[in-house]
Amino acid sequence: PTGEPEGILWRAEDNDYAPDSTESARINATLLSLVRNEELGELVKTMRDLERTWNHKFNYPWTFLNDQPFTEEFKRKTQEATKAKCYYEQIPAEHWEAPEWIDDELVKESNKILEEQGIQYSGKSSYHKMCRWNSGMFYKHPALANTRYYWRVEPKVQFFCNVDYDVFRYMQDHNKTYGFTINLFDAPESLPSLWPETERFIAEHPEYVAENNMMEWLVDDKLRPEHNKKANGYSTCHFWSNFEIGDMDFFRSERYEAYFNYLDRAGGFFYERWGDAPVHSVALGLFEDASKVHWFRDIGYRHIPYFNCPNSPKCSGCTPGKFYEGASWLSKEDCRPNYFK
């Protein structure tokens, strides 16, 4: 009933997870948050949630990243929210800024069209940069060079369930590459050329495609055929990347690097509004074995307007089974039926 996965061996009470221990049972992993100084208040609330439900037992370090320098207040208040070590890192400009082959005039024109189509954030250049950085740069930050697993955390998200085992250790022991909580359709207008570019890439590199891949999930057109049409063959289904627990070795692999570079050259992070969620998801779906992706059904989670809320005595503060909050059309955005099929 708790939804906890099978084969859990690593519980805090049986192992050394003291924050400063040099012999601790922690594996090579960090909580990771790209965040702005202005989001400090929301971030601290989220940190308290995750510390209360999980990290106070395991004391995994937090790494905060920002394209700007963090303020002293930011450093003090975040460190006050955890016993674990905190690291504060600035993103090198060459990781954040648009590459030189991007044409500013073309960006302006194409973003105007996207805005007219009602694509959220399409006129905000920082959002495009953020999506590109989360797609192909985060795992290249020098401060993460010796770190393997990450748990991505955004300000304002909520966690509802007590989780009593080391989830990073679970990933490692069960040979998982990627864990998600929420699985959604995307706005097809934000990525009309992502699938065509991807098809060109895999035609050039068929050797990168995994045998036991998730292609059917990526191209399923039963539930929402209009999406496939507008996205030129892609269902738009993706793991919602504001939550992810992942193995950076996948993103550092030759196949992912080649894919990211190909997409980056194609320019869709700026001329369209490709999100890092569909980019990660398409890559996982094609280049990774399907068995290496894990649904953390036991991690109660909210990022407005969606939830993952299990029916378990370990959870409080969300309604079991509830998927969305707000307008009823949001219910259509759930792509789990396709994924489980």
Distance in angstroms (rounded) separating the CA atoms of residues 309 and 299 = 8
Per partner kind, with CB cut-offs from 5 to 8 A, the member of ligand GDP, Mn ion, none near residue 261 is none
The site string for ligand GDP over 212-231 (x = CB under 6 A, - otherwise) reads --------------------
Which of 2, 11, 25, 36 is the binder for ligand GDP (CB under 6 A)?
Answer: 36
Shortest distance (Å) from residue 156 CB to Mn ion: 7
Structure tokens at 178: 């990627």
Question: Looking only at residues 53 through 82 of this chain, which bind ligand GDP when binding is defined by CB under 6 A?
Answer: 66-67
Q: Say which amino acid occupies 102.
A: I
**So which residues are the catalytic ones?**
244
Shortest distance (Å) from residue 103 CB to Mn ion: 28
Q: Is residue 92 a contact residue for ligand GDP (CB under 6 A)?
A: no
Shortest distance (Å) from residue 128 CB to ligand GDP: 10
Question: Looking only at residues 135 through 164 of this chain, which bind ligand GDP when binding is defined by CB under 6 A?
Answer: 154-155
Which stretch in 73-81, 112-120, 152-160, 199-207 sits in contact with Mn ion by CB under 5 A? 152-160
Structure tokens at 24: 């601790």
Handedness of CA 253, 258, 262, 267 (dihedral sign): positive
Phi, psi of 305 (to 5 degrees): -105, 20
Nearest in space to 57 (alpha carbons), one of 79, 86, 26: 26
Distance in angstroms (rounded) separating the CA atoms of residues 90 and 222 = 44
Which of 126, 311, 316, 331 is the binder for ligand GDP (CB under 6 A)?
Answer: 126
Which of 31, 32, 81, 130 is the binder for ligand GDP (CB under 6 A)?
Answer: 130
Which stretch in 32-40, 74-82, 190-198, 246-254 sits in contact with ligand GDP by CB under 6 A? 32-40
Phi, psi of 307 (to 5 degrees): -130, 155
**Residues 164-199 as b or e (16 or more Cβ within 10 Å = b):** bbbbbbbbbeeebbbbbbbbbbbbbbbbebbbebbe
Per partner kind, with CB cut-offs from 5 to 8 A, the member of ligand GDP, Mn ion, none near residue 63 is none
Structure tokens at 34: 């790209």
Shortest distance (Å) from residue 101 CB to ligand GDP: 21
Q: Is residue 242 a contact residue for ligand GDP (CB under 6 A)?
A: yes
Distance in angstroms (rounded) separating the CA atoms of residues 31 and 149 = 9
Nearer to ligand GDP, 169 or 268 (CB): 268
Per the DSSP assignment, residues forming a β-bridge with 66 are 90
Q: Is residue 281 a contact residue for ligand GDP (CB under 6 A)?
A: no
Question: Looking only at residues 217 through 276 of this chain, which bind Mn ion when binding is defined by CB under 5 A?
Answer: 242
Structure tokens at 315: 């959870």
Nearer to Mn ion, 119 or 214 (CB): 119
Distance in angstroms (rounded) separating the CA atoms of residues 182 and 299 = 10
Per partner kind, with CB cut-offs from 5 to 8 A, the member of ligand GDP, Mn ion, none near residue 82 is none
Which stretch in 11-19, 35-43, 54-62, 143-151 sits in contact with ligand GDP by CB under 6 A? 35-43
Distance in angstroms (rounded) separating the CA atoms of residues 308 and 311 = 10
Q: Is residue 154 a contact residue for Mn ion (CB under 5 A)?
A: yes
Measuring CA to CA, how many Å separate 178 from each of 124, 125, 163, 167, 281? 29, 28, 18, 11, 10
- With contact defined as beta carbons under 8 Å apart, do 212 and 290 qualify? yes
Per the DSSP assignment, residues forming a β-bridge with 31 are 62, 151
Q: Is residue 175 a contact residue for ligand GDP (CB under 6 A)?
A: no
Binding site for Mn ion (CB under 5 A): 154, 242
Query: Which residues of the chain form contacts with ligand GDP (CB under 6 A)?
Result: 34-36, 39, 66-67, 126, 130, 154-155, 242
